[in-house]
Amino acid sequence: MILLNKKLIKGGRVEPEAPNERTRSVIGGLKHSKTFTLVSALMSWEDARIHCRQHYTDLAMIEDEAEFNTVASLYPSPQVWVGLYREPWRWSDGSQAKFTNWANGQPDNYQFNQHCVKVDNSRGWHDENCQTSLPFHCEKGG
């Protein structure tokens, strides 16, 4: 099941999404069904995580290739935050990252201050300074 440009609400109702959000659902990912939403507002990684936790579940935690393809299908922007950060590489809920898709030469921790992960429209993952303002992916469910 895929929902595009709509937000699935409990009880099966579907409502239009906010103008700065684009949503797509993936059913049967690695663990559970998830809905990913691209939020085009520009925020730091931490502010994006706060926003996602207030309005969804968390920043997107991409656990397999199917989820990655679903998230990648939402790109209107050259770069977006996902929920991965360095401590070592963990998702924003603290779980270990078992799936990654690093771009060639990444992660590189340029200037020793790149601790968060962005995905670019070439589908590669890059470490980035967490204070950079970017659009981001949230998830609900999982």
The helix (H) or strand (E) run that includes residue 54 is helix 45-55
Q: Which two tokens stand for residue 42?
A: 């520009």
Is the pLDDT confidence value at 46 over 60? yes
User: What is the band of 91 on the pLDDT scale with cuts at 50, 70, 90?
Assistant: very high
pLDDT for 72: 81
Of residues 120 and 50, the one with the higher pLDDT is 50
The one-letter amino acid code at 68 reads F
Categorize the per-residue pLDDT at 123 as very low, low, confident or very high, splitting at 50, 70 and 90.
confident
Of 31-35, 127-131, 136-140, which gets the smallest average pLDDT?
Answer: 31-35
**pLDDT tens-digit series, residues 54-88:** 999 999 999 988 888 888 877 667 899 999 999 78
Q: Which two tokens stand for residue 121?
A: 């429209």
Asked whether the beta carbons of 7 and 17 are under 8 A apart, the reply is yes
Q: In one letter, which amino acid is 20?
A: N
DSSP one-letter code for 77: S
Say what the pLDDT of residue 65 is.
87
Give bridge partners of residue 24 from the DSSP assignment.
Answer: 36
